[in-house]
Amino acid sequence: MSINNPKHIKMSDELLDACRQHLANVNEELITKAFEFCLEAHKNDLRASGEPYFTHPYEVALIVAKELPLDDVTVVSALLHDVVEDTEFNLEILSKEFGKEVAEIVDGVTKISGIFKGQEITQAENYRKLLLSMVKDVRVILVKFADRLHNMRTLQFVNPDKQRRIAQETLEIYAPFANRFGLGRVKWELEDLSFKYLNKEAYEEIARKIKSKRRERESYIKKFTVPIIDKLDEYKLKYEINGRPKHLYSIYRKMVTRNKPFEEIYDLFAIRIILDSENNNDCYTTLGIVNQMYLPVPDRFKDYVSIPKTNNYQSIHTTVVGPEGRLVEVQIRTKKMHEVAEKGVAAHWRYKENKTASEKDMENWVNWIRDIFENASKDEARKDILESFKLNLYQDEIYVFTPKGDLRRLPVGSTPVDFAFEIHSKVGYHCIGAKVNGKIVPLDTKLHSGDQVEIITSKNQHPNKNWIKFVATHKSKNAIKKWINKEEEDVVNSGKEIWEKKIKKLKLSFTTSDIAKLSTNLKYESPRNFFKSIAQNKINLDEVLTATKEKEKKEKSAVLEFGNFAEIARDDIGGVLVDGKKSGILYSYAKCCNPIPGDPVIGYITVGEGIKIHRKTCNNLLKISEKEVSKLVPVQWPESAGSLFVAGLRVMGEDSPGILTEISHAIVSYQNTNIKSININTNDSMFEGSVTLYVQNLDHLSSIIDRLKKLKGVYTVERFESA
C-alpha cells in the first residue's frame, strides 16, 4: 500500500522532517511503512471530534519525534500503539512486519492502559504490574505519556463526566510520573490541562489575571535584564534570556496551600538564562554576574548543577532583589541542561551517547533498568550500574511488598530494618531477622523494587547501635536513637543525682548554661555525656568542682576589681560628653563592653534607660545598630590641654625582691607619670598585681606598657578591658 492522498503525503513528510531534525538515526522506510499501516488499520474509525482516528496515533508520533525524541523505534511504536487494542491486527503481525522490539513496546502500551486507573492505582498488585510493564522498555512509558498528552490537548470533544475522570487521572497519576522521568514540560502541561477541566472557573480567572499583567511584567523583565545582558556580552557568553513561563496550576496550588491571593503569589518575577555552552562553569560565571548586578536573597539559592536532582534535572536557582525592591527568581542552565529538564530521559540518552547510539547500546540500556527491577542480585557489577546510571526511574525510592501484597515505598538503600519500622515502630524495635522473597537474609541487606519482605520478631530483641550504620530512613534512625537514648536515661539520671549532691555539699549553684559550658570545657559533647561519665565513675567530680569553686572566686574578685576601677576612672574624668557638651541627659554604661576612659565610645538611644554608652567596637552595638542607625549619638570623653584620665593595668610575672619598686620606677620615670594605686599579691613564687595611673592618652599608656614588659621577670602586662 502507498500513500496517494496529498493531505496524507504532507502529514508523512512533516513527521519525517521532525524525525530528521530531532533524532540521531532515522529509518525513513520503516517510519513510512508504519504510517501507511496505521492509516490502513484505522481507516474505518473516527474520534470523538469527528476526525479520522488515525490522526491520533499520528499526533502521538509527532509528539514523540519533537517533544520526547529518543529514537525512530519509539516513533514507529507511537504510530502503531492503538492497533492491537482497536483493530483486527495482532502482535504477531506487528512483530513480523516491524520487528519484535516494536511489538513489545506496543504490547506494553496496551497493557499499561488498563492499569492507569485512579481508583485502582493504590492496590499493590497493580503497582507491581505497572512497574514491570514500564521497566521492560522505557519507551513504553514515553509513548504512553505522548498518548495521554494528545488526549488531554483534545479533551474538549468528550462529554463533561469523561473530561473530569480523565483530568483527575492525569493529575493524580500521569503528571507525577512525568516528573519522575524528568519530563518537566510534559508535567506542567498535563497539570495545567487537568486544572482547566477540573476547575474551569479558577483556571480562567488566573489566566485572565496573568494576561492583564502581561505588559507590566514584560516591561519590568526588560528593565531587569538590560544590565545583565550588557555584562554577559562583555564576557562574550552566548545565551538566551527570557521570562520563565508561569504555570496556572502551580499558581493555584500555591494560592490554596499558602492561603494567599493571586497578587501575592504572582508578584514574584522569574527569568531563565540558557547558555549556549558545554562548560558548566559558565553557569557560575553567570551567577556571579547576576549577583554583581543585584543583591541575592541568601536562603533562596539552590545549586542543582553540582548536585542534580534524582531525575537528572540540573540548573542553578537564585532569587535577587531587582529594581523597585521586587524579588526576581533567576534560573541559570546550559542548553543541554534545559533540554534534559524539558525532555527528560530521552534528551539525556541522546547527550549520553553523543547522538550516535547504536541499536545494541539502546538494547543494553533498556535491559539495565529491567535487570535492576527484576533481579535482587548483590553482584558488585550491578551495584556499579546502580551507582553510575542516574536515570534509574525510581532511583530515589523503591517499592516493596508485605507477604499479603501491600505496597510500601522506601528510599533506595533501605534494609529489612527500615521496612520493619515502616510497618510499625513495635515491629522495628523487636525485629530479629527477615525473609526476602522467601529466603532469610542479614538485617543490613539492601532491598530492591519488587521484593517481598517478611519480618521475624522476638520480644527479647531490641535495637542496637550498629543498626544506625545501615538504615536509610529518618523514621528508622529516629526510632533507634530514641530507644538507645531511653536506655541511657537511667545512667544519665544517676549521674545527675551524684552531681546534685556534690554541688549542694560545696554550696555551689549551676544554671543549665553553666553546666553546658563546664561539660564543653571538659571536652564532653553534651551535658548528657558529662553526667554519664559521672555515673560511670570516669571523672573525679571533687577535683572538678573544687577547681570550679576557686575559679569562680577569682572571677568574682576580678569582676569586683574591674567594676571599682571603671567607676573610679569614669568619675575621675567627669563622665562623658553627649554631642560635645554636658547636657544633663540620662546615660549609663553598657555592661556588655564596659567602656572606660580612653576607649573610643558612642551612644545608643534606648527606651526608658536614656543613652547607653558602648565601645565603638562592641559586637552587641554592631548588631542592634544595623537596622537603627538613627538611634546612634556621638559621645566622647572630656578632653582639654594637659587633662589626664585614670587607666588600669594588670601585671603578672615571677616574684623577686624589689619587684614593686622596679614597677613603680618604670612608671614614674616616664614623663613624671603619677600612680594612683598599686597592689601586688604573691603566690608560689609568682606575683599578680594591678596598677592605676594617670595618663594623657592611649599613646602615653602604650609607652608605659612597653616599659613594664621590658622588666626582668614580668611576663604579662595588659590594660583592664573588662571582667
Active-site annotation, residues: 85-86
Sign of CA dihedral 20, 22, 27, 30: negative
Torsional class of 438: left (φ above 0), alpha (ψ -120 to 50), beta (otherwise): left
What amino acid is encoded at 262 in this protein?
F
Hunting for cell 543541554 — which residue is that?
A: 336
Nearest-angstrom CA–CA distance, 291 and 33: 55
Cα→Cα distances 180→118, 131, 232, 343, Å = 18, 13, 34, 12
Q: What angle do CA 63, 66, 67 make, to 5 degrees?
A: 70
Alpha carbon 472 to its chain centroid, in Å, reads 18
Note whether 585 and 611 are within 8 A (CB). yes
Q: What angle do CA 352, 357, 373 make, to 5 degrees?
A: 70
Nearest-angstrom CA–CA distance, 148 and 157: 15
Sign of CA dihedral 442, 444, 449, 453: positive
DSSP 389-456: -TT-TTTT-EEEE-TT--EEEE-TT--HHHHHHHH-HHHHHTEEEEEETTEEE-TTPPP-TT-BEEEE
DSSP 551-575: HHHHHHHHHHHHHHHHHHHHHHHT-
Q: What is the 3-state secondary structure (H, E, C) of 122-190?
A: CCHHHHHHHHHHHHHCHHHHHHHHHHHHHHHHCHHHCCHHHHHHHHHHHHHHHHHHHHHCCCHHHHHHH
Torsional class of 669: left (φ above 0), alpha (ψ -120 to 50), beta (otherwise): alpha
DSSP 689-712: EEEEEEESSHHHHHHHHHHHHTST
As to burial, measured by CB atoms within 10 angstroms (0-12 exposed, 13-18 middle, 19+ buried), residue 55 is: middle
Q: Name residues whose C-beta falls within 8 Å of residue 712's C-beta, 6 or more positions apart in sequence.
A: 656
Overall residue count recorded for the chain in this entry: 723
What amino acid is encoded at 360 in this protein?
K
DSSP 461-484: ----THHHHH---HHHHHHHHHHH
DSSP 358-389: -HHHHHHHHHHHHHHHH-----HHHHHHHHH-
